[in-house]
Structure 1
């Protein structure tokens, strides 16, 4: 594809493996408030996770009635691929998508993972997956030209149908999202100066490229990051947001008509380099959003790595106390109006004030995070890492 050329290839090499975000609408409820309360109540301290133990403690944060702090409990995925694609359906059911064409599914809370990878996909890089339930899912493979593909299953991964294969050498698809079980979008890095949007109205069985007339011009070098499946997210029946970087300004683009017309807004998250910008966004409704990002290179600092919006993405405000380093994934806690989790290679952070301030809960490496209506939160990342939040 044009625009990023070899720089884009280098960036993706750094992202070998794979979040996916479901774009669900999250509403207030008692169970979510209880989860947020356990994450912020005093409790006994747990040592930081170094990636070697079964559980990853959430520091001194959290606690249950038994006094045990909430923590990421690592699940044995049985593989060492990197999972940047994650779609959590419930406490028991979750889907993972990663490098080497790998798709895994659990139906028992992570005790067992079934390899349900599409046949012949070993050379593909899956970076985003959107699951509707334990049987239906759509997965995106990223890359230049025909490396960008979409597959769909209706039987839990027993069989897959390739429903889209990119034939434009200039296109490079990064993320997908669904408004409901039928309507969804996928986004490509700019083609002929504008981001390209792919649309489905039948649950991913067929796709078509939307007209570009309503898409603002891209900046030089601007693109999405295929880092967590959260560079394109939706909330409600029509609103969708697209996160960008790699250009002078990290931006968030918003559409309120399922991708036909867009407005672009600068964010305070630093960009100006192919490795920097907005990596992920999450909206709990059509108004309140959080953006995270930074510089994915381990030797580079990431100041101002988070921002918030209270007007649907029209304006963004820097977090007063942002995460201490680059973060690639973010999600609102289920049924909470103020609490969210952000993850990255150096840790997990929690906000309880809508994204204005963050504090680190865990130092384990994760690329993406997703929560479900039944109070389950999952995270996944490098070396086959996948975990569920336990209390």
Structure 2
């Protein structure tokens, strides 16, 4: 079992929160994504680090990763109840990879590796045990989307009826630039182009949704979420760290965008999560400046923490967890 340093959680102006703990699993690595199945939680990040908790983040074990991957950054991970795990590394060319761990042998196998210098994987998501998607920066062939229909054993590049914009790509900051909505819809947030947009896969067809979020180099949509009739996009710019990050809400029925309350975090939002508590939707966002929450319908965000958090994951029964810089794991619960 890993030796863990414990601290009191920092909560500011959050009347509906229950204080939890902050744990530092390894100050020499930084977590970049977190995935949970109830109390079963996986986190990964720099130096090929993979950690696993079976008890809602109270205790953690370091997981042996694929051989010779200590130099990689594992920026997305997805686990299934049977113990199968798929992990994605982000990096230029061959440093972008997909590995899959078999649930019986516990052995890792390399499924996909970037073949072109411009290849850069950003995020992945599984709709169910068999069907998964991966998004990466566009290349000479256009928009880059992979799909698997056999649980991550094989991946096929998809041909989209949409042209890539100049420089269009994504942000491997939290594992949430690609997400699933209702009725098996897929949403992908793009950036690094003049017109950041949402790529939407619905009823077997791809669509492009224009957005009001600011574009440009290192700017755009970092994270997407969908609940009820609303799509939420979060992002901003890594070049304008003194400006407020951006958050917008899109009504899928009326196709109208609404600016959310001014975000108390600067630059860009890295990760997000949604949580329903007693019928009320809570929207959580995170970046190196901390974590904030917005109760749907309220006029302002509440700061939960000032820790450097990149990725969030929530469960309606077991609340939320954030992971980030220098091996930090932070637990949040709500009354």
**Aligned mate of 2:96, from 148, 151, 155:** 148
Name the CA shift for 1:199/1:348 in 2 (closer, same or farther; >3 Å): same
Q: Is 1:253 the equivalent of 2:199?
A: yes
Q: Superposed, which structure 2 residues align to 1:141-220 within 5 Å? A: 141-155=89-103, 158-192=106-140, 194-212=142-160, 214=161, 216-220=162-166
**Aligned mate of 2:252, from 311, 320, 331:** 311
- 1:264 positional shift: 1.9
Q: Is the 8 A contact 1:292 1:327 kept in 2?
A: yes
- Alignment match, 2:233: 291
Q: Superposed, which structure 2 residues align to 1:111-130 within 5 Å? A: 111-116=58-63, 117-130=65-78
Deviation string 1:110-152 (CA, Å, 9 cap, x unpaired) is 3332221222211211111112237222110112222111111
**Aligned mate of 1:58, from 8, 11, 14:** 11
Q: Superposed, which structure 2 residues align to 1:1-391 within 5 Å? A: 54-63=7-16, 69-90=17-38, 92-116=39-63, 117-133=65-81, 135-155=83-103, 158-192=106-140, 194-212=142-160, 214=161, 216-257=162-203, 261-272=205-216, 274-285=217-228, 287-297=229-239, 300-303=241-244, 305-311=246-252, 314-325=255-266, 326-334=268-276, 336=279, 338-353=281-296, 357-390=300-333
In the alignment, the residues of structure 1 paired with residue 263 and residue 255 of structure 2 have an alpha-carbon distance, to the nearest angstrom, of 20
In the alignment, the residues of structure 1 paired with residue 80 and residue 97 of structure 2 have an alpha-carbon distance, to the nearest angstrom, of 19
In the alignment, the residues of structure 1 paired with residue 327 and residue 82 of structure 2 have an alpha-carbon distance, to the nearest angstrom, of 21
- Alignment match, 1:24: none
Worse-matched range after superposition: 218-227 or 235-244: 235-244
* Matched residue count: 327
Q: Is the 8 A contact 2:78 2:87 kept in 1?
A: yes
Consecutive unaligned residues in structure 2, runs of 5 or more:
none
Name the CA shift for 1:383/1:304 in 2 (closer, same or farther; >3 Å): closer
Worse-matched range after superposition: 161-170 or 195-204: 161-170
Instruction: Let me know the Cα RMSD of the aligned residues.
Output: 2.5
Worse-matched range after superposition: 310-319 or 76-85: 310-319
Q: Is the 8 A contact 2:265 2:290 kept in 1?
A: no
TM-score (norm 1): 0.77
Consecutive unaligned residues in structure 1, runs of 5 or more:
1-51, 64-68
Between the two structures, name the one with larger relative contact order (CA 8 Å, sep ≥ 6): 1
TM-score (norm 2): 0.88
Name the CA shift for 1:352/1:177 in 2 (closer, same or farther; >3 Å): same
Name the structure where strand makes up a greater proportion of residues: 2
